[in-house]
Chain A
Amino acid sequence: MLDNRAFPSPALPLLSPLGDSGLLVRFGASLSEDANRAAISFSDRLRATAVSGVEEVAGNLVSVLIRYDAQKTSYDALAGEVRLLLAGADKLEPASSCGVAVAVDFGGEGGPDLAEVAAILGLSQDDFIKRHNAVPLRVLATGFAPGFVYCGFHPESLRVSRRPTVRARVPAGTVLFAAGQTAITSTAIPTGWHVIGHTRFANFSISWDPPTQLRPGDLVRFRSEFV
């Protein structure tokens, strides 16, 4: 089975049903900067537009799920509204983004894979940390788990693949690294990504409304906790 679809693309998104009360808008078949920006921008615009029957808008890395009430609209009617909104894309202001600084305790007990990651990249641990923190990253997506954020993209020179095995549980505040991205957990989850550090930064609380603070498109500046 090969995923060789040239379509969809940011300029030519694909609309398809996801179950009988979901419409999925895809801006790419794989992760790219353009497809990610298109997905974030579209979900922001859709949230700012009152479209009848829409119950929930959930953006992901390169796609947006629209959950709708089938008693208030139909798939076809909603798809029509979505196409209109996509066609008018250039007339809308991009949403403003916020920035946050995240202090990370790299390596040690909370980051057991730091040495291995640095070795794969042929860097000293200090050099890796320096390069990792060099430029702010964008929040690419949320939604994998409560408060979880994918941040990217690192340059090609910092790209490593996932680990061959999955850790059954890493705690909240774990800083993960793989696939040109850094991710932060806010709850305990299983992961196949490299565990490079730990942060006290928390992006999820059931007592907040909304329960997470980082939104897709926000900027995250990582720094070392002990320097």
Chain B
Amino acid sequence: MHLQVLRASPLTTVQDQGRFGMLQHGIAASGPMDRTAFMRCALALGAESSAGIEFTRAGMAFTLVGGRTRAAFDGGTFQLRHNGQECPWPAVLDLQSGDTVEITPGSVGNYGYVRLLAEIDVPLILGSRSTNSIAGLGGFGGRALAAGDLLPLINMDHVLKSAAKPALPDDGQPIRVLWGAHADLFPATVRDRFLATSFEISGRLDRMGVRLIDREAVFRDTGQLTLVSEAIVPGDVQILGDGTPIVLMRDHQPTGGYPRIATVIGADLDRFAQRRPGSTVRFTSVTPDRAHKAALSR
């Protein structure tokens, strides 16, 4: 059984939970940009397949070649057609050989997922099937998927008994952050303005990071500061030498020397990843204790 890619949005990649434990070797964990949506697919299938496909706003199209399987779709809001027939989003579909699935742009989000009641049979690289776009490893030959690619599938038999909680729509509430590794290097007035200002999501976003537009020039005078290279974690809000804020995402460079004022909490990073270019974002600071409670309540 195979999944044949008919069309793929830019940066459509194979992802599993992530490649953890490799930071010392220079490899970030990768994994889904919206882990919650990725997990909802597994719950909707009643199975925890390890890898799925992450696509971006233009969606993708594929056909199933040989065999039969079930597929779950979630993340953002996309248009979905099964053999030409319109389906709701999110959805679970039973697919047979020759069936075609067409995913086209919808109203919400940057990332969508399809997971199958089958394993995508790409090799485990350093313990994971996730594609790392910065190191060019994992997934399908270390690269984004393209039309014509044929992904081998293996049927799965593990079935879990759980149900997917429906996704909560993004209520537009501020994104919660902890003060970052270098927050103390920013004057108190800049820290205050960082929390009081709306930033705009720019069109320069990918799996490595999301650049923000700082219209109020909060970071204009923070100047160039090169620090000794230190660990980066997903969600770090880094200020480049020209004052551009950039939120580092799942395929972040493992270490960096630009100052980081804050870190988006794990419970809010998925929601942030789905914010589209042109939308605004505000940040609010919480304590580590509050962040842990938010993580547990998801």
Contact = CB atoms under 8 A, between A and B. Distances in A.
B51 interface: no
A1 B186 contact: yes
Contacts of B186: 1
Interface in A185-217: 186-187, 204, 206, 210-212
B125 to A, nearest CB: 5
Given A56-B21, A145-B26, A20 B230 contact: no
Nearest to B233: A19
A25 B204 CA distance: 32
Contacts of A1: 185-187, 222-223, 225, 259
A147 B255 contact: no
Contacts of A58: 23-24, 231, 254
A179 to B, nearest CB: 10
B245 interface: no
A19 B231 contact: no
A65 B259 contact: no
A206 B125 contact: yes
Nearest to A149: B26
B168 interface: no
Interface stretch (B33-41, B55-63, B106-114, B289-297): B289-297
A61 interface: yes
Contacts of B264: 19
A70 B255 CA distance: 22
Nearest to A56: B21
Point out which of A2, A75, A143, A204 has the most chain B C-beta atoms below 10 A from its C-beta: A143
Interface in B256-278: 259, 263-267
Contacts of A71: 296
Nearest to B222: A1
Contacts of B125: 206
B20 A59 contact: no
B23 A56 contact: yes
Contacts of B21: 55-56
Judged by DSSP, the binding face of A is: loop
Contacts of A28: 228
Point out which of A55, A71, A146 has the most chain B C-beta atoms below 10 A from its C-beta: A146
Given A20-B265, A74-B292, A75-B288, A143 B228 contact: no
Contacts of B23: 56, 58, 65, 67, 143
A17 interface: yes
Given A30-B228, A57-B24, A143-B25, A20 B255 contact: no
B188 interface: no
Interface string A3-21: 1010000000000111111
Point out which of A19, A21, A60, A71 has the most chain B C-beta atoms below 10 A from its C-beta: A19
B185 to A, nearest CB: 6
Contacts of A18: 180-181, 231, 233, 236, 263
Interface in A161-181: none
A146 B125 CA distance: 13
A150 to B, nearest CB: 8
B288 A20 contact: yes
18 contacts: A1-B259, A16-B181, A19-B178, A19-B234, A20-B288, A28-B228, A55-B20, A56-B20, A60-B229, A60-B231, A60-B255, A62-B228, A62-B230, A65-B231, A75-B288, A146-B27, A187-B26, A212-B24
Interface of A: 1-3, 5, 16-22, 24, 26, 28-31, 55-63, 65, 67, 70-71, 74-75, 141-148, 186-187, 204, 206, 210-212
Given A18-B263, A144-B229, A146-B137, 4 more contacts: A3-B225, A20-B178, A58-B24, A143-B255
Interface of B: 20-27, 125-126, 135-137, 178, 180-181, 184-187, 222-223, 225, 227-231, 233-236, 253-255, 259, 263-267, 288-289, 291-292, 295-296
What are the 4 A-B residue pairs with the smallest beta carbon separation, nearest first?
Answer: A65-B231, A20-B291, A58-B23, A19-B263
